[in-house]
Each structure stands twice: as structure tokens, then as C-alpha cells.
Structure 1
Amino acid sequence: MVTMRDVADRAGVSIATVSFLLNDKKPVTAATRAKIELAMTELGYRRNVVARALASRRTHIIAMAYPALDHKFGFSAAEFFTSAAEAARKQDYHLVLWPVGNDGTELTELVGQGLVDGVVLMEVQLDDPRVTILQDTGTPFAMIGRTSSLEGLSHVDIDFDRTVEDAVEHLYELGHRRLVLISGNLNDPLFSTYGPYVRSEAAYRRVAAEYGLETVVMESAGSTMAGQEAMAALIRDHPDTTAVLIVNEFAALGAVAGLNRLGRKVPADISVLPLLMAPEMAALTNPELTIMRTPGPELGQLGTDALIRQLEGADPLPPQLVPAKLYPGATVAGPKGRRSKGGGGRPAARKARS
């Protein structure tokens, strides 16, 4: 069995120096750290995480709290997880996924056991009970998302205003004037204060008014079947629609299938543009979806960095909003009769804001 003495001998340092590094008792120089870590790799030394936690009163484990029972796992969520785990690994932390509910009950039990040093919250509600629990227990945390009151809260999030502005501008410049937003179901108690749904809809209502467009918002649950049902209702109630923007990625998948079954060609008859989706998800439809690409890799890293800075006593990471970016596919084109003429520039209200 490889011991700390073996590591110290191989690295040419004292056992105390190896202990300082492993247990975070005292800082060591970058050169010394590199020698010790090389020696551990060559000897196959494995750190005793339990002993380290007892010595330092820290586990170097952080949790990402994701309400999996309320939100399906998709490629977008996976991008948040993987980038967060990589960011943690680079800073000598381990990240675990806690699929706990948004009501905070399970979170109370878990943080009380001292299993982790801090928590990254995902799928944040405008009024999120998990925030109160973490504050009351003194647990360090950062949010990927935003509550309605942000004073003193470390957070990063999608820039929903910029995302919706860019999406509508793209469709408008192609010539679309009959747009519909398929939002989330805000009548569902689980999602009535869900940040992405509330902020996307608010942004769309504002931007549509600035363009002088009729504001049409329909609701859909977050499933492929719900997306199909939304398209049936769209064709029935708003048959002159030329483009739809959809918030939920699963509903967007169902929308394309639903339009195909209804005999509508995408994008020849109607364009489909999801506001939040990962490229791997977009490739599941035929034709492949044009999307506003969710900034999961960026936000997963930023949220983890924000938490680790707290744990390390470093300067706090400033709040950051990152917009989704247009990612090419095959479900968006100009409406019939406008494709060769262009859609014209932005209206005066939009130009004034730019």
C-alpha cells in the first residue's frame, strides 16, 4: 500500500508538506504541488477523502440540486452537469447530482448531514424555498437561475431578454409577421413561478409590442405529446401563423412531429424556432431544428466557479447573464411569398433600443 511517506520520498519533500497539500492545512507553492501530484500519479496513490474531510472539516464535494421529478433530463441539462463537473474537477472538487424536489424538503435533510461543502441550484423558481433553506442552514450556494429578489445572492443565468430579442429579430428580418410563442404552462403550480417560462414570456410580450406584432402566447406542458397538441390548437385557432417560438425543448420536438402529422411542411408552411435547446436535441427531428442554443456549458462552469470562489474565500464572481445563440438548422425560412424579397429592417421602436 502506497503511503504519504512514499509520496514524500518520491517528490523529495517532507511528509508534513504532503499532508499540507492533501488536507488543505497550509498553502504550498505551485512547483511543490506539481512534484507531489506527479509522485502520487507515478505511485498510484489515492487520497483518503474521509480522512481529508475530518482533518479539514471540508469534503471538497459540492452538489448540484436538480429537481428531476419536476424537470425531465435532456441534452441541455446534461451540458450543465458535465461542464459543472469539469469546472469542479479542475479546482480539486467533486460534483455530485442531487435530484431533489423544488419544495426543499429533501434538501433540508441532505445539507444537515454535512455531506457537501456547498450547493449549486438549478431550475430556480422566482420564489424558491430552497434558497431560504440554504440561507437558514448557513450553506454556501450559487444559483444557475434567478429569484425575484437577488440581493446578496450569487447567480448566473440565461439572458432571456437578449435571447428573445435575437430570435424575434431573426424571424422578422426573414419576413415573418405572424408569430406565436409556445410558452410553458404557468397555470401548473410546479411552474407558475419558474424563471425561464416567466422571463421568456415577459420578454416576448415586450419585444412583440416593439415590433408592432400581434402578441399571441399559447401554453404547453413540457412533453412531446403536449407539443403535438399545441400545434393542433395552433392550426385550429391561429391558422395564419408563419413561425412559432417554443420555450420547452421537449415540446419543440413534439411540435415538429405534430405539424408533419397535420400535413404542414416545416419550414415551407411554418417555421419552428426553439428558444432553449442543445444541438444534440435539435438533431432528433426531421428536418433538424434551427435553435437558440442554450448556453449550458458556459453557465455550468460559471455557476460552479461562483460557488467555489465562496468556499475558497476568493473575490465573488459578478452576476452574469449569457444569451442563447442562433444555431443553424433546417426549420426556419422566410414565409411563402417573401423569401426572395426579404423582410425589411427593424421598426423604429427596435432601432431606438439598439
Structure 2
Amino acid sequence: MVTMNDVAKRAGVSIATVSFVLSGAKPISAATRERVETAMRELGYRRNPVGAALARGRTNIIALLYPALQRPATGSVMGFFTSAAARAQELGRNLVLWPISNDAGEAAALANTGLVDGVLLMEVQLEDARVEALRPGTTPFALIGRTRDTAGLTFVDVDFEASMSEAVAALDGLGHRRIAFVTGNWGDLHLEDHGAAERSRACFRTEMARRGVRKPLIVPCAENSLDGRRLGRTLITEHPELTALVVMNEHAAPGIVMGLRDAGRRVPDDVSIISIGSSANMAGMADPPLSFMRTPGEELGRLGVDAIIERIENAGAEPPAVLLACEMQPGATLVRVRPGD
């Protein structure tokens, strides 16, 4: 294996000079640089970009931590990934998806390696142990999501409260009063206080209470189409009075439509549906295509990268905090409630 010492001997310079040529840390004359580079070519020396980056104190790598062991990536989540990667590339950085669990120790261990300049956390819980594990360290981090207490934290997130309020108002405007909320079921995946779900549930209760419903129906469902289909069948059997659903479960939503059909309920004639926090691709998988509220994943992916780079470059600045609501998109699953329903 060719070493820097071999290159230095061939070029007739010191090892320090070879190091300066590789790192650009100090100016080197054109003639000396040419001798060093010629020696590297002749010897077949290959510089180690990671080692050089570590020597400079920067790797230009941002780690995006997603707990793929606990939750499958939806179409909306993929929007975060792709837009964040594109934005990082625009700014001369590399975004690396780190599909680990949401274990605090794993997150801290990664940050402490020095291999990454910053960390972006996804699927944030209201009380997220990863945040507390990263706070004492020196590696900057930011959240795509937010904890219960956001003081001093850098985050970008969906405004789930505003999004849920708009969804319920849309159904209410069509005359629907008997509405259920279908969310994910993550209790056995250590995502019990998942921020998006908890905030949406709380807002749904508030919005329904404003309309005189003190105990609104909130139903968890595993994130897959088969369980969605089972739920669609049993939901109507157990709650035949329902005329509308707000669904925040992309993978289960197409199955829910099929299950309602199995139970003899037509969508949207008998049951209207709004899929909240979804994407056009997932909404189009249902028959009929779902009316949905688009997750601003692409926007938040870009903003998340901007936020972490701001923390890396200017640690003393005010932590950025951004909330964006979902946007209502047309579909075929919303109609005015029928007289007598």
C-alpha cells in the first residue's frame, strides 16, 4: 500500500508538504504541487477523502436518522428524503440516510464518531430520548418534527393542529357530524407518544368538542392495507352511524376503502374520507382516489437541511423553527351528507 511517506520520498519533499497539497491547508508553490501530484500518479497513491475531511474537522456529511426498524417509510416520508438529499447536494453537502431504531444510545454514538457534521432526527416523539442524548454533545442536530418542549431546539414540522382543524371544518361544512379519526398503531413499536399522532389526536378531540361531541371516536390501525381492510369492515359494524373518516395512516387508507365496500358502504356516497398528511401517490392507490391533505414533505426536507446547516455554520444564532400546514387537494371521497343520515 502506497503511503504519504512514499509520495514524499518520490517527490523529494516532506510529509507535511504532501499533507498540505492534499488538504489545501497551506499555500504550496505550483512547481512543488506538480512534483507531489506527479509522484502520486506514478505511485498510484489514492487519497482518503474521509481522512482528509476528518483532518479538516468537517466531513460535509449530514446524517438523517429514520427509525425504519419501527416504522415503514410512506410516500410522504420519501418526499422528505429526496428533497433533503437534493438540497444538501445543492449546498455542497452529502445527506446519508441512517435507518436505525429510535434508541437514544445509537443516536448519540453516531453523533460522537465525528463522521458527520450534523444530525437530522425524524419521527420525533413528544418526549424523545434521542434529543436529550444529543443535547450535551458537540454535534449540531435539528428535528423534522418537534418535542413537547421546543425551547432551544431547531426544528421544522408539519402544523398538525392547523391541518386537523381544516380537515374537520371541511367535513363539518358538508354536514358531517359523526366523524371518526383513524390513526396509526405504534404502541408496540416504541413510538407511543409520536408527536404527529399525539398532536392530531388532541386537536381532533378539541375540534369535535367544539361541535358538541365529548367522546369522539379515535381508532388505531396498523400501517398496512390488510389491517385497513379489516378495520373498514368492523368499523361500520360497530359504528353504523358514521358518515365520515379522517385518516392519518397512508398505508392503511386504501384497505379501509375496500373494507367499507365489503361492509356494504359506498365511498363517498355513504362515508366521506379525508386522508391527512398524505401524498398524491398514496391517495391515488385507493378506489376512488382519496381526497387528501398533502404533507409539505418536499418543502420541509429542504428547510430541514437549511436549518441543520445554519446550526453547523452559526451555532450561536437563534434556532430556526418552522411550521407548515398540510394543503387540501382534490379527490373523489368527499360529498355532502345525505338528508336523514
TM superposition score normalised by structure 1 = 0.79
Q: 1:219 is matched with which residue?
A: 220
Structure 1 alignment gaps of length 5 or more: 1-18, 27-45, 340-354
Q: 1:327 is matched with which residue?
A: 329
Q: 2:184 is matched with which residue?
A: 184
Q: Distance in 2 between matches of 1:140 and 1:205?
A: 36
Stretches of 4+ moved more than 6 A in 1?
22-26
Q: Distance in 2 between matches of 1:285 and 1:48?
A: 49
Q: Give % identity.
A: 43
Q: 1:108 is matched with which residue?
A: 108
Aligned partners of 1:180 and 1:243 also within 8 Å: yes
Question: Whose radius of gyration is greater, 1 or 2?
Answer: 2
Q: Distance in 1 between matches of 2:23 and 2:212?
A: 62
- Equivalent position amino acid for 2:68 in 1: A
TM superposition score normalised by structure 2 = 0.82
Q: Distance in 2 between matches of 1:182 and 1:136?
A: 38
- In the TM superposition, what are the counterparts of 1:233-252 in structure 2 within 5 Å? 233-252=234-253
Deviates further, 317-326 or 164-173: 317-326
- In the TM superposition, what are the counterparts of 1:91-102 in structure 2 within 5 Å? 91-102=91-102
Q: 1:228 is matched with which residue?
A: 229
- In the TM superposition, what are the counterparts of 1:334-345 in structure 2 within 5 Å? 334-337=336-339
Aligned partners of 1:162 and 1:323 also within 8 Å: yes
Deviation at 1:184, TM superposition (A): 2.9
Q: Distance in 2 between matches of 1:172 and 1:194?
A: 27
Aligned partners of 1:119 and 1:307 also within 8 Å: yes
Aligned partners of 1:24 and 1:56 also within 8 Å: no
User: In the superposition, relative to structure 1, how do residues 24 and 293 fare at CA in structure 2: closer, same or farther (>3 Å)?
Assistant: farther
Deviation at 1:51, TM superposition (A): 5.3
Deviation at 1:23, TM superposition (A): 6.3
User: In the superposition, relative to structure 1, how do residues 329 and 338 fare at CA in structure 2: closer, same or farther (>3 Å)?
Assistant: farther
> Which whole-Å deviations, capped at 9, do the CAs of 1:220-262 have from their partners, x for residues lacking one?
2222222222222311221011100011111212211211222
RMSD: 2.5
Aligned partners of 1:310 and 1:316 also within 8 Å: no
Is the partner of 1:308 in helix, strand or coil? helix
Q: 1:119 is matched with which residue?
A: 119
Deviation at 1:263, TM superposition (A): 2.4
User: In the superposition, relative to structure 1, how do residues 225 and 65 fare at CA in structure 2: closer, same or farther (>3 Å)?
Assistant: same
- Equivalent position amino acid for 1:85 in 2: A
Q: Distance in 2 between matches of 1:336 and 1:105?
A: 54
Deviates further, 115-124 or 182-191: 182-191
Aligned partners of 2:160 and 2:199 also within 8 Å: yes
- In the TM superposition, what are the counterparts of 1:24-35 in structure 2 within 5 Å? none
- Equivalent position amino acid for 1:275 in 2: I
Q: 2:312 is matched with which residue?
A: 311
Deviation at 1:154, TM superposition (A): 0.6
Is the partner of 1:156 in helix, strand or coil? strand
Q: Distance in 2 between matches of 1:208 and 1:24?
A: 63
- In the TM superposition, what are the counterparts of 1:13-52 in structure 2 within 5 Å? 49-50=49-50, 52=52
Deviation at 1:186, TM superposition (A): 6.2
Q: Distance in 2 between matches of 1:188 and 1:196?
A: 17
Query: How many residue pairs get matched?
Result: 301
Deviation at 1:24, TM superposition (A): 8.9
Q: Distance in 2 between matches of 1:47 and 1:241?
A: 66
Aligned partners of 1:121 and 1:144 also within 8 Å: yes
Q: 1:43 is matched with which residue?
A: none
Deviation at 1:49, TM superposition (A): 3.3
Q: Distance in 1 between matches of 2:127 and 2:92?
A: 32
Q: 1:263 is matched with which residue?
A: 264
> Which whole-Å deviations, capped at 9, do the CAs of 1:303-340 have from their partners, x for residues lacking one?
1111000111174453111111111111111122389x
Aligned partners of 1:309 and 1:316 also within 8 Å: no
Aligned partners of 1:232 and 1:258 also within 8 Å: yes
User: In the superposition, relative to structure 1, how do residues 309 and 259 fare at CA in structure 2: closer, same or farther (>3 Å)?
Assistant: same
Deviates further, 164-173 or 248-257: 248-257
Is the partner of 1:249 in helix, strand or coil? coil
Deviation at 1:106, TM superposition (A): 2.7
